[in-house]
Amino acid sequence: MVNQSKSKMALSKIDAEIEQVDQEKYLRQATNYYQALEKPLKYGPVIETMDQLITALHREFESNYVNIEMVNHLMLSYKSNPKEWRKYAKFDRYTYTRNLVDAGNGKFNLLILCWGEGHGSSVHDHADSHCFMKMLKGDLREKRYEYPNRPNNTVSKNTSHPHSHEGGYRHSGAGSRSARRRLAVNDVAYINDNLGLHRGGRIQVMPTPPFPCTSIVHPFDTCSVFQDNCKKTTAKVTFWSKYGVRTKLNEQ
């Protein structure tokens, strides 16, 4: 009887591991064709609070076959309410911060990213993940780049010629500039590695209050960052805070 019970537990664990692998495989494959919604779905659910957003996201990620279009809709549908997210918005004077709001049962991460004056990210990829970024306050400038030497890049109307110029500097590979986009409150940007690389940064040059945006990504521990000379390095992904509490260095 004991052996049968242990056997059932072992099989259950194997089934759960297979299900997780299947979902990850499906999500990676979906990056080959998905490019994003600009407006919420006509008949999609209305999301009025952050709690409703988190509950709806958990529901979407229960299945092996996540409806990426619905995830996009949920992010578009939610309207920013500072009373709901203020406790998660942790700032640092020296760099932008990544603050974990919900770990999504290991299937997604809901983050709030906080940007101070002059802060910006490196040019980076998303480890074959889907990334949605929604502005909660202020505005942000997103720059997109072609992914160097990637064989199956999706051709996007927002991607420039692989040799483009900006400010007199010639770029190629990871340095190929494509579209710039200014994100205002409640705007949603979407990117995956087949669409390219990106970086975010503050628009204002005069001192202004810092502001946050929220991001949802499939969990990953590392990503690739790119220098101006197109050199790629691996960076560990960390959290400045988790669930509203500052993390220690060994807990990031």
Is 163 annotated in some ligand binding site? no
Is 124 annotated in some ligand binding site? yes
Q: What's the chain look like in SS3?
A: CHHHHHHHHHHHHHHHHHHHHHHHHHHHHHCCCCCCCCCCCCCCCCCCCHHHHHHHHHHHCCCCCCCHHHHHHHHHHCCCCHHHHHHHCCCCCCCCEEEEEECHHHCCEEEEEEECCCCECCEECCCCCCEEEEECCCCEEEEEECCCCCCCCCCCCCCCCCCCEECCEECCHHHCEEEEEEECCCCEEEECCCCCEEEEEECCCCCCCCEEEEEEECCCCEEEEECCCCCEEEEECCCCEECCEECCHHHC
As annotated, the binding site for Fe cation includes 124, 126, 198
As annotated, the binding site includes 124, 126, 198
